[in-house]
Structure 1
Amino acid sequence: MKKLFMRGLLVMAVVSVIAAIAFYSWAMATYGPSEELQQLVQLDEVAVVDDALVFEPGEAARNGIGVVLYPGAKVEGAAYSYYAQQLMNEGVTVIIPAMRLNFALFSPNVAADYVEQFAHIDRWVVGGHSLGGVAAAMYAAEHEVDGLLLLASYPSDGTNLREATFPVLSLSAEYDGLTTRADIDASKERLPKHAMFVEIAGGNHAQFGMYGAQKGDGAATISAVEQQEAIVTCTLEWLAQ
């Protein structure tokens, strides 16, 4: 009986190791920045601070607003560089942290590290794309923030922000096959009544970044840059309120 028990433990251990290796391999198969993005942004010139990409205007151009943006699952932070650069050009500091195993849910509190380091920022917004937005909402529920930005995302069932007083912007897309209109509508009960909801006409899920097509997504009827520009405009208008 003892030998049978030990053999069972060994089998379970082997299965666990194989499962962990398989998950690690899957998580490392990331969505990187598209060729189009690489033509628009000089990625090798982007500053890196503690593994985060930092888009910071010159001191004279800063408007005191900082955005910590959590990437979507398996999406490299560089895929959001065009969006970040456009916000930077308007005086906003944008920080895109690296996530453990490329999943923001494994690093939901990483924004706190940069809030401490960038003490000159007066107003902090935390946000994220898809699963990154789920983690950002978790962070906002437990920390002091000045805004929550959801890109094709929504709070999880366990995150209740109904009583939150900070501003919330939820951006969705008409042809998003992964975060649907039904998902966004259902999330409204977990967000404050003053939350703003904007749908990008013709957009899809993957074009909230610039990393190419994503399995299960709908087909956009606008270009990636057009969707990015719409997202930038909505974000800046919201931040200016």
Structure 2
Amino acid sequence: MLNLLNKALLIALLPLALSCSYLPEPLEQEEQLHIEETGDYIALRGNEVDPSLAGIIFYPGGLVDPHSYINSLDELAINHKRLVVIVKSEANLSILNTQKGSVVQSSFPEVGKWVIGGHSLGGSVTCMDVAKNPEKYKGIFMLASYSVDNLSDLDLPVISITGTNDKVLDWTKFNGNQSNLPPAITVIDTTDIRNNSTSASTVYYSIEGANHAQFGSYGPQDGDGTPTISPKTQQSLVIDALETFLITNHL
């Protein structure tokens, strides 16, 4: 059963939780991608994993099948040699398992440092996990999401990626909760974040023409805006921004 705190958080985040009750699109099979699945996670590896690079932990959106993010994250494993771990939660609601990312780390002792992120409700849960376990993470990324926990004094780099055609994200809450994250650095292009560490700052990057659903691979979403770029283009821009952010911060 839900405890009182999780009940309150679920009510507060209900719009994000109900925004994505969709199943994954068919997976594109990749010979270079190796998938390990348990009851707790889906781990993605390429043919080579660089142990010096940060591993990625990812919380899916509310009510979204976690398999929906394999296609959108596999480039991190295949081309960038990172271990990617997609967290699985009860009823596909990560709000019910807000420290699952910290727990599954023990299954990968070879990884020396971790970055955590999520989409929609999963991004908010990402911040809950970090608030409870700040020592376990070296960076945060959020896709179409916001933090309800106060992480403003956190000495970690954060990147927040949104889409201009996203009609699902509550933009009032997104803007109103920016004070919960470290001070803002707004960039127009990912090249703007390549020169210096962004630790203790939040990089805000908006993708022109991107919508809410195309951060994952589960098809069109009710109430969402019409994208003017393809899912592949949107997801490639996300990976480019994320990888630039990680390299800039020596992750």
Instruction: State whether structure 2 residue 76 is matched by structure 1 residue 87.
Output: yes
SS at match of 1:231: helix
CA contact (8 A) 1:133 1:153 kept: yes
Match of 1:199 among 199, 206, 211: 206
Is 1:72–1:132's contact at 8 Å kept on the other side of the alignment?
yes
Tell me the number of residue pairs that the alignment of Structure 1 and Structure 2 aligns. 210
Give 2:88's aligned residue.
98
SS of equivalent to 1:46? strand
Match of 2:57 among 59, 65, 68: 68
- 8 A contact 1:175–1:203 mirrored in 2: yes
In the alignment, which residue of structure 2 is the partner of 1:33? 24
Q: How does 1:126-205 map to 2 (within 5 A)?
A: 126-143=116-133, 144=135, 145-156=137-148, 159-193=149-183, 194-205=201-212
Check whether the contact 1:41–1:81 (CA below 8 A) recurs between aligned residues: no
Give the Å deviation of 1:136: 0.6
How much has 1:179 moved relative to structure 2? 1.2
Residues in 2 aligned to 1:56 and 1:196: alpha-carbon distance in whole angstroms: 27
| 1:75 counterpart letter in structure 2 | V
Change (3 A) 1:240 1:45: closer
Deviation string, structure 1 residues 72-111 (Cα, Å, up to 9, x no partner): 0111111111222100020111101111111110011001
Distance change in 2, residues 1:45/1:147 (3 Å): closer
The 2-side partners of 1:181 and 1:86 are apart by: 29
Uncovered stretches (5+) of structure 2, i.e. residues with no partner: 1-17, 184-200
Q: Counterpart amino acid of 1:48? A: E
Larger Rg: 1
Deviation track 1:42-67 (CA, whole Å, cap 9, x = no partner) reads 7x962113431101245554443111
String of CA shifts for 1:168-203, please: whole Å, max 9, x gaps: 010000011111444332222110111100001100
Alpha-carbon distance between aligned partners in 1 of 2:168 and 2:181, rounded to the nearest angstrom: 20
Percentage of identical aligned residues: 29
Q: Give 1 or 2: higher helix fraction.
A: 1
User: Do the aligned residues in 1 keep the contact of 2:143 with 2:160 (CA within 8 Å)?
Assistant: yes
* Match of residue 234, structure 1, among 241, 245, 251: 241
Q: Report the Cα distance in structure 2 between the residues aligned to 1:218 and 1:100, rounded to whole angstroms.
A: 29
* Contact kept in structure 2, 1:63 and 1:91, CA below 8 Å: no
For residues 116 and 45 of structure 1, the distance between their equivalents in structure 2, rounded to whole angstroms, comes to 20
RMSD over aligned Cα, in angstroms? 2.2
TM-score by length of 1: 0.81
Structure 1 runs not aligned, ≥5 long: 1-26
Q: SS of 1:125's equivalent?
A: strand
Q: Could you tell me which residue of structure 2 aligns to residue 19 of structure 1? A: none
